[in-house]
Chain A
Amino acid sequence: MRIQFKTSYDHDMRLFPDAWTACVYGALMVVMVLLPVLLDEFFLGEITNVLIWAIGGLGLMLLTGQSGQASLGHAAFLAMGCYSNTILIEQGLPFVIAFPLAGVLTGLFGMVIAIPAIRLHGIYLAMATIAVSVLADDVIVLLEPWTGGVSGKFPEPIVIFGFEIERWSQPGRFYYLVLAVTVISTLFYRNLLRAPMGRAFAAVRDSEVSATALGVHIPRTKAIAFGLSCMITGWAGALMGYHAGTFNNETFSLVISITLLMMIVIGGLGSIHGAFLGAAVVAFLPQALSMTTDLFGGSGVAIPGLETGVFGLILILFILFEPTGIYGRWLKIRTWFELFPFARKAMFRRQKSYLKTERLR
């Protein structure tokens, strides 16, 4: 077991607790940078998909895992990010301005949505955000002159200072763009966690009454959580648009919202790792299933509902047996090895509780 000798307050503020962890993540980064060389186009596209889902997961994690506000409306914010990015670029803005701005606009939109929503708790908030998701579809159709309505839109190739990134012919370049956005989003999330606002989010999640007594303005904090969450989600949406190559009013459906929420639960609520692990499950599951059915002599015809069924089963199993998600399970496995042979089954018993996101009131 590694023991950290802390010699200054800065030790707890570091991005990585010790040199070993920094090396592990450094090595991971090197592998990620080398991936376009190592993998063929198909798998690179899959990895890109995982990263885009992970960005969306980080966005929702900030809201649900960190501040305890469940949202089933995040597909609407994905759509908002996607459409605003495309429209801004059509208006002649360069990508380097349009893309961040699309995130900021989505964030501001999220804060506006949050104003009525933050008065709600738990299941009622989830229902209200479902409404946002359902409405998004109709709004996109109604705003046809801008959004292209049912026939949809095709995003133009990305141009960064004359450097062109075309998703289909240059998957490597697109991958690097997605990787950069992933790293930036992760850093934002991580920075927030070690700063007062991130702790205020956790305070709102765990006890609103004592957060108030300590000077945390609850509505404002929740609105900021919504705004930041939607900003990151908006970026994911814009990248999703590029990744899909085309999108219309049905691309960002309620199912996407639900998938996003299930993803962070399976990954592990309240942790950055959870967003990535959940994204890997969501992105690879369809591939893994089709490979498995092929293996058992499937005729290549998709079995209707199989994917949803398996996904639902996985979710149920996690909620029943591992509420802390894949990341929580990984922490237990790691502890077992670190303490070997002294790990005991009862070590985690006290923590075997659901992450209290929001008590039903």
Chain B
Amino acid sequence: MSLLEIRNATLKFGGVVAVNDLSFAIEEGEVYAIVGPNGAGKSTVFNMISRFYAPFAGQFRFDGQDLLTVRPDQVANLGIARTFQNIELFDQATVLQNLLVGRHRHRQSTLLEELFFAPRVRAEERRHRHAVEEVIEFLDLQAYRDKRIAGLPYGIRKVVELGRALASGPRLLLLDEPASGLSVEETQDMRWWIDDIRRQMGITVLMVEHDMGLVSGVCDRVLALADGARLAEGTPAEVQSDPRVIEAYLGTGAV
């Protein structure tokens, strides 16, 4: 059974069909990319998986569980974490606090215990902290641990957001343009990290990305979208050489 299975998903905003009868499935342990020109509906697919948008029609199954029956905040509990295209960090908090919010779905202490900072809260905090420190180590964020997000450069924020998603201990990681706005070196780092996330942590990755270098470097399979519908699916090389994909990106040859 596929880890994430989307069948006949359709979403309309008024008269605009953002996603049209789209079906695809992601297997456990693979890195899967969605590519396509601007406005193809890539982020919309993400927002449907996160339950921010309710699809007009279609089926969403994560590990056999119907995603459409859960609230947006319960999606994290199933083990789906995500990043955002325009970084959505908690600006007035430190990197450490941001990553610790990532552990929120593992919270077991009650409000009363927290008001008195009961021993159980302390024990739990230590566990959260340990998990977060592993992420900090993995992403080389030690130097920024106690820095406020508001003062950090863009490239670091991007990494912190990835870290926050990892801290929640997901099974499926949704990365919305992980390399947008990053320098060549930072993109290279991101590539190794995505590779390691899959290999070391065993997390399945679904990403939206424009950087074809990154996509062909780390992805097993690629889905190309245009106008909310599937154009092609296959290995990066197959999709890149597909005439329909080339047409969608470059237009038909008038020569």
Contacts and interface: CB of A to CB of B under 8 A. Distances in A.
A194 B93 CA distance: 12
Contact of B92 (A10, A12, A188, A202): A202
Interface stretch (A26-34, A210-218, A301-309, A315-323): A210-218
Interface residues of A, number: 37
A13 B124 CA distance: 12
Nearest to A191: B117
A353 B91 CA distance: 11
A197 B111 CA distance: 7
Contacts of A215: 73-77, 104-105, 168
B171 interface: no
B92 A196 contact: no
Interface in B120-139: 121-122, 124-126, 128-130, 133
Contacts of A191: 114-117
B102 A214 contact: yes
B44 to A, nearest CB: 15
Given A191-B114, A202-B93, A206-B90, A212 B72 contact: yes
Interface in A63-111: none
Interface stretch (B11-19, B80-88, B181-189, B223-231): B80-88
Interface in A186-233: 188, 191-192, 194-200, 202-203, 205-207, 209-218, 224, 228
Contacts of A12: 96, 129
A9 B91 contact: no
A146 to B, nearest CB: 30
A192 B76 contact: no
A64 to B, nearest CB: 13
A104 B150 CA distance: 36
B89 A207 contact: yes
Contacts of B103: 196
A350 B151 contact: yes
B104 A202 contact: no
Is chain B's binding surface mostly helix, strand, loop or mixed? Answer: helix
Select the residue from B76, B88, B115, B130 with max chain A CB neighbours within 10 A. Answer: B115
Contacts of B102: 214
A205 B88 CA distance: 12
B153 to A, nearest CB: 10
A188 B115 contact: yes
A122 to B, nearest CB: 16
Contacts of B7: none
A202 B90 contact: yes
B56 interface: no
Given A209-B84, A215-B77, A199 B125 contact: no
Nearest to A206: B90
A313 to B, nearest CB: 27
Contacts of A356: 91-92
B46 to A, nearest CB: 10
Contact of B81 (A198, A212, A214): A214
Contacts of A218: 73
B34 to A, nearest CB: 18
Given A12-B96, A214-B105, A196 B114 contact: yes
Nearest to A200: B104
A309 B96 CA distance: 42
Given A10-B122, A199-B97, A206 B92 contact: yes
B114 A195 contact: yes
Contacts of A200: 101, 104
A57 B32 CA distance: 50
Contacts of A353: 150
B210 interface: no
B115 A214 contact: no
Given A200-B101, A202-B90, A195 B84 contact: no
B199 interface: no
A215 B170 CA distance: 12
A203 B109 contact: no
A351 interface: yes
8 contacts: A9-B129, A191-B116, A207-B91, A209-B84, A215-B75, A217-B71, A270-B92, A351-B151
Interface of A: 9-10, 12-13, 188, 191-192, 194-200, 202-203, 205-207, 209-218, 224, 228, 270, 350-351, 353, 355-356
Given A195-B125, A210-B90, 5 more contacts: A194-B117, A213-B82, A214-B81, A214-B164, A351-B148
User: 6 tightest A-B contacts by CB?
Assistant: A215-B76, A215-B105, A195-B114, A206-B90, A210-B88, A191-B117
